[in-house]
Amino acid sequence: MLLHIPGVFSQEDVATIRTALEQAEWADGKATAGYQSAKAKHNLQLAEDHPLARQIGEAMLQRLWSNPLFMSAALPHKVFPPLFNCYTGGGSFDFHIDNAIRQVRNSAERVRTDISSTLFFSDPASYDGGELVIEDTYGTQRVKFAAGDLVLYPATSLHKVEPVTRGTRLAAFFWTQSLVRDDGQRRLLFDMDQAIQHLTRDVPEHPALIQLTGNYHNLLRRWADL
């Protein structure tokens, strides 16, 4: 499932974050890539323990944890702390699949990467190229969302970032270990949850809501991986 989650950050917040990121010291992005990915990765990245990365990352996760769309789609159990990248001057990241397990820096915590997410901080009109290209069951998806918006997609997907030929593309990315490992099961639960929310809004007294909600939780109980 590929999902667009708009407005995680307001335009005012995005402008403040972008200014801070533009003034930060960036390092070679290969430092956090696996052996195969490092050969395809040509970008810059904030150090994992950079204070600015922690500050923005914590603010981002606070917003996502209160975002009903993200919670419904991701069913998060663990999250790898957000990382931040910069593509400019032809920077790109060729086709790859994300590592299955990520170890949190300076911690014994490990996160299974069920879901990948990218949050954009640059106005799409301010740079050329830089599309996130995702190969999924519905074909090739090309993503270049507004600043402040997030895209969520299965970490099992083959994906790349096209070369940025003008301007600068700033973004955050992170991985979620979901309560439900299987993407197809998550999609069924997401669709059911969205239907429950719409029925609750439109026909709140309908007796089928109790049965439908019960079925949702029984499926989640059956599929949850704790």
E strand map for the chain: 3-5, 27-28, 41-42, 44-45, 76-79, 83-88, 92-96, 101-103, 110-112, 115-120, 128-129, 132-136, 139-143, 150-154, 158-161, 164-166, 168-178
Using CA atoms, how far apart are residues 31 and 104, in angstroms rounded to an integer? 14
Determine whether the annotation assigns residue 202 to a binding site.
Answer: no
Environment class of residue 196 by beta-carbon count within 10 Å: exposed (0-12), middle (13-18) or buried (19+)?
middle
Angle at 174 between CA 125 and CA 68, to 5 degrees: 85
> Which residue, chain included where needed, has tokens 């299987």?
182
Determine whether the annotation assigns residue 18 to a binding site.
Answer: no
Using CA atoms, how far apart are residues 63 and 16, in angstroms rounded to an integer? 16
Q: What are phi and psi of 133, to 5 degrees?
A: -105, 120
Determine whether the annotation assigns residue 159 to a binding site.
Answer: yes
Determine whether the annotation assigns residue 50 to a binding site.
Answer: no
CB-side neighbour CA atoms (13 Å) of 128:
4
Annotated binding site for 2-oxoglutarate: 169
Annotated binding site: 96, 98, 159, 169
Annotated binding site for Fe cation: 96, 98, 159
